[in-house]
Amino acid sequence: MEKAWWKESVVYQIYPRSFNDSNGDGIGDLNGITEKMDYLQELGIDVIWLSPVYESPNDDNGYDISNYKGIMKDFGTMEDYDRMLKSAHEHGIKIVMDLVVNHTSDEHPWFVESRKSVDNPYRDYYIWREGKEGKAPNNWGSCFSGPAWNYDEQTDMYYLHLFSPKQPDLNWDNPKVRREVFSMMDWWCQKGIDGFRMDVISMISKEPDLPDGTIKATGYGDFGPYVQNGPHVHEYLQEMNQKVLSRYDLLTVGECSGVTIEEAKKYASLDGKELNMVFQFEHMDLDGGETFKWNDRKIKLTELKQVLSKWQTELYGKAWNSLYWNNHDQPRMLSRLGDTKEYRETSAKMLATCLHMMQGTPYIYQGEELGMANAPFETLEDYRDIESINAYHELVESGQISHEDMMRYLQYKSRDNARTPVQWDDSENAGFTTGTPWIMVNPDYKQVNAKEQMSREDSVFHYYQKLIRLRKELEIIPYGAYQLLLPEDENLYVYTRSYKEEQLLVVCNFKKGGVSFAVPEEFRREGEMIIQNYPDRASEDLKKDEVALRPFETFVIRF
């Protein structure tokens, strides 16, 4: 397999609003990131994926952009940005920008023009349709509740917004739109950035007749089949690749909701015609259901293994995987599959091992390396996220979910769980700000914080540091083939990696309790323990036929 730096890298996602506040206004900022560059270097990550820092009215925390070449005032200035980029590069860290081009803000000058009149030169930058019998052009619901269409009085027409009404969808079928986007991307590349994470890029090409979708529990139609992996998406990405991406040395990752294996082989093909890799959602959606993600069901390990193993084996040698448990849209995986009490650190290390020993490029979300967990939000007023707040109103006010149940679901699943400030130390507000934080700080910061984590050799932080180092030392980790063992086991996730003459055995106990591991014959031999979360586990233990694993125990043996 051909080697590349982005195949051997570990990416760290920064959600700037919640990372580090340098000026006491309660909002994380660019100078706050620059201050923590030494910390990131010590962790050992190679690349930062920076969630949006562009000018934005902040309807969706920066995922609604009003100027792609300007910096949001809350976050600082372009000079602050340039200083951060320079500092990152001096620390040997690359910067990947979030590219949000499925939609803009409704305050973007293109949209301000577009809505003025049907013959405005910017009209076709967005997706405008006549209503049908006084109603929206079709039955689609938006991702953030309510219809996906907004009526605009000025021209008596509707515009499409798959997300909030303040996030109108761009019309990618218009070559001018593509030209504008590519030239803006080029402008950032000229600045010296190192790549793009592309927001909902699988949804940029819509089925032209925009047909009604199957009605969901919310009463709206599902747009999925008509916008995900749409008719021209690969053509547009190949054009983007020819015009921009191929001219620089970049890491590119497409956020592809609704992506299948077959589609991923096109988006992320190793021939390099489109992107380097995609974020797939299948393992995240395993606990979803009728009312989208709003429930408190647990993910079943057998299903998780089946999904992840499918991606591992089917893309191997054909396309590249990205690996993640967490991001700014997901509740903390530690609260979903691990333990936040007695076994917090043990389970955080187990989850990290399970992911980081797989084939692909791993992504760490800020605070994951500290063992940060979901926050104890209590009332609706504690939430800031547009998706959570709108979902509460839609589902509770229509009587589909009771207030009590919905509060429990929000606590378990809300995106705000990932968005509480990074816990730096045990001083007030976890050292995140000297002012009033824009969202609550998780009160567990007295115990869980970076200062404490860095002071102790056996911490989650140092464990992540070691996982990152191992990926650099052993080529089998980025490049080896994957094979799942014990697919039916409901508690253990065991797999192997093979490369040249070498093999790795990865053992992870997902149960908060003891589990017996029947050692397969071929592994009852001499090996080298390379990482473990119970210090007394030795590779010799595998010479017996059974090993008694402890709660959330994990280890990796190299043969």
Closest CB to ligand TEU among residues 229, 449: 229
Distance (Å, whole) CA 468 – CA 281: 24
- Catalytic: which of 46, 55, 255, 553? 255
CA atoms of 137 and 157, how far apart (whole Å): 9
> Could you tell me which residues come within 8 angstroms of residue 311 by beta carbon, excluding any fewer than 6 positions away?
261, 264, 280, 282, 321
Q: If we measure between CA atoms, which residue out of 549, 554, 2, 551 comes closest to residue 276?
A: 2
Q: Give me the residues paired with residue 387 across strands.
A: none
Count of residues engaged in binding Ca ion, rule: CB under 5 A: 5
> What DSSP line would sit under 469-483, residue for residue?
HHHHH-THHHH-EEE
* 153: Cβ contacts below 8 Å, ≥ 6 apart: none
Going across the sheet that includes 481-485, the strands are 481-485, 492-499, 502-509, 554-558, 528-532
Contact 32, 20 (CB under 8 A): yes
To the query of whether residue 255 is one of the catalytic residues in this protein, the response is: yes
Binds 23: which of ligand TEU, Ca ion, none (CB < 5-8 Å by kind): Ca ion
The answer to whether 29 contacts Ca ion (rule: CB under 5 A) is yes
User: How far apart (Å, rounded) are the C-alpha atoms in residues 128 and 114?
Assistant: 9
SS3 (DSSP) at 130: coil
Residue 25 touches Ca ion, criterion: CB under 5 A: yes
Residues 40, 127, 185, 200: which binds ligand TEU (CB under 6 A)?
Answer: 200
Q: Is position 516 an interface residue for Ca ion (rule: CB under 5 A)?
A: no
Minimal distance, residue 268 CB to ligand TEU, in Å? 17
Is residue 35 at the binding interface for Ca ion, with CB under 5 A as the rule?
no
Q: Which of 27, 84, 418, 440 binds Ca ion (CB under 5 A)?
A: 27
Which residues within the stretch 327-366 sit at the binding site for ligand TEU (CB under 6 A)? 328-329
Helices (H), 502-551: none
Name the residue with tokens 């002012």: 435
Give me the 145-174 binding string for ligand TEU, x by CB under 6 A, dash otherwise: ------------------x-----------
Q: State the binding string over 289-328 for ligand TEU (x if CB under 6 A, else -).
A: ----x----------------------------------x
Whether 194 sits among the annotated catalytic residues: the reply is no
Question: Could you tell me whether strands 157-160 and 54-55 are parallel, antiparallel, or unpaired per DSSP bridges?
Answer: unpaired
Q: How far is the CB of 87 from Ca ion (least distance, A)?
A: 17
Tell whether residue 257 is a contact of ligand TEU (CB under 6 A): yes
Per CB under 5 A, the segment of 29-37, 212-220, 452-460, 503-511 that binds Ca ion is 29-37
Going residue by residue from 374 to 403, which x/- string records binding to ligand TEU, judged by CB under 6 A?
Answer: -------------x----------------
Which of the ranges 17-25, 285-293, 347-355, 404-412 carries the binding residues for Ca ion, by CB under 5 A?
17-25
Does 276 contact ligand TEU by CB under 6 A? no
Q: Least distance to ligand TEU from the beta carbon of 143, Å?
A: 5
Neighbours of 222 (CB within 10 A): 16
Q: Which does 323 bind (CB under 5 to 8 A by kind): ligand TEU, Ca ion, none?
A: none
> CA-CA distance, 443 to 28, in Å (whole number)?
18
**Binding partner of residue 274 among ligand TEU, Ca ion, none, CB cut-off 5 to 8 Å per kind:** none
The angle at the Cα of 80, spanning 42 to 252, to the nearest 5 degrees, equals: 65
Near ligand TEU in 96-155, by CB under 6 A: 100, 143
Q: How far is CA 124 from CA 110, 116, 158, 161, 173, in A?
A: 10, 12, 13, 14, 9
21 scored as a contact of Ca ion (CB under 5 A): yes
Given the residues 169, 194, 199, 274, the one annotated as active site = 199
- Under the rule (CB under 6 A), what is the footprint of ligand TEU? 60, 63, 100, 143, 163, 199-200, 255, 257, 293, 328-329, 387, 415
Under the rule (CB under 5 A), what is the footprint of Ca ion? 21, 23, 25, 27, 29
Catalytic residue numbers, as ranges: 199, 255
